[in-house]
Structure 1
Amino acid sequence: MVKFATMAVRLLALAVFFAVSAVVFWFALVFTVHRGAMAVPDLKGATVEEARAVVHDLAMDIEVEEPGVFSASIPAGAVALQRPHPGFQVKAGARITVRLSLGNERISVPEIRGESLQSSLRGLETLGLPVGARIQVDGHAGPDQVIATDPPMATWVTPGTEIDLLVNATPELEFWVMPSLMSRQVGVIRRFCSEHGLRLGQIHEVAYPGLSAGMVLRQYPPAGSPLSRSDIISVWVSR
């Protein structure tokens, strides 16, 4: 019985010894790990120069990471994000990675010249840019196509900025230079107009002694004038 009690006491003492040793080892490990460690400072809102000065005093370094981030509360060029976070324990020589603020979010007005009005409206709405005034003009592009914007395309604007559109209302008019029809036979003029989709209007016959019938004496529009498919060509010919 005495031997059993003695053995129990020894086992208890051994257990206490191991428990104390474990606690001592744990504190020693924590002390070793944290010896020389320091908390990462909060650099948010500081310029790069200010942040470098702060971490330099703590024997740390800074690395600026691209791209920057948009922030409505932190001015452009100041630290907006950092890694590790403030308060994290690091040792001397640690590197703090920061990303700088780009200021308020900005959006580039898209290149929509030549696109249809409906397609442009959808694209601008997706970007968070409402459409303001829609000004229509005639004959400068295809039907219902965007010609220009205000602010101009590729301009950086803040979300919610209204974009005014200049839109063509009618198909683009195709122009040629009116050729000279003088002294040509009216039959040649008819074929010319038919082949080029031009409209030949009234043919006026004029008495002109000494000249064979059907020769063009006068024309409208005059030679060198702009000519579109909607214009009507009139000629005066000898009879």
Structure 2
Amino acid sequence: MTDAFKMFLIALVTSVASQLLLGPYILRLQGVVPVPATTVAGMVEQSTPPPGGAAGPNADAKLAAPNLEGIAVDEARERFRAKGIEIIEDGERDGSGAAPGTIVQQRPAPGAELSSKEIRVVVARKSEDVKVPELVGKTIDEARRAVQEAGLDLADPTPEVSDKPKSTVLRQSPPAQEAAKRGSIVRLVVAEPASIEVPKLTGLYLGKAKKTITDSGLAIGPIKRVEHAELGEGYVMRQTPVAGEHVPPGTDVELVVVAPN
């Protein structure tokens, strides 16, 4: 081996050794910090989301319960099945006008946190038909009890002048024995005695007062006579009931008149 070749080998080995020993120090002087392979691998693992998972800080965010009220339960199941939300029926109740089978209540409430992806619902029950009871001839109190027992509701009764006893049911709608939805409204017409406005009798004389009473549909009641120094005999001084009062037909009208001198 020549001396020149020996010198070449020595220079090559020295250069390689210098790079291995002094390389990191030189990089630090140049502002470059080498990253260990294990660190790089860790960074890759942390930045890669787990299979089937969502990346980012909102990966564990909870869903809000949708508003299902007024939706048919079958439609709600179909609509939210793809989102993994299970609709569970918790019973039925009268829907107060809601279509049978539609959701009238839910838990959790709309907008509340949906932690288990389950929503329990109550659906509207199909209305039952009931028979309207016979109410004509009953008193209003008797009719009210019968309507409630049948599962119906009673509207405020309409009065009508009649010779029947006061508050007797004269007509009803719907008629007796007709089928009606539970909770339907029943309307009644009830008797109200006729009333007569009492005419003014004071200032008249007894004969005229009596005729006025009978012409008005009222009855002549007791007549009391009192002495008076200035007014003439039979002059009506007082009356009961007073003028303008409304009373049933045939009511007695009492008079106080001046006695004969």
- TM-score, normalization by structure 2: 0.36
Q: TM-score, normalised by structure 1?
A: 0.39
The structure that has the greater radius of gyration is 2
Task: With a CA cutoff of 8 Å and minimum separation of 6, indicate the structure with the bigger relative contact order.
Answer: 1
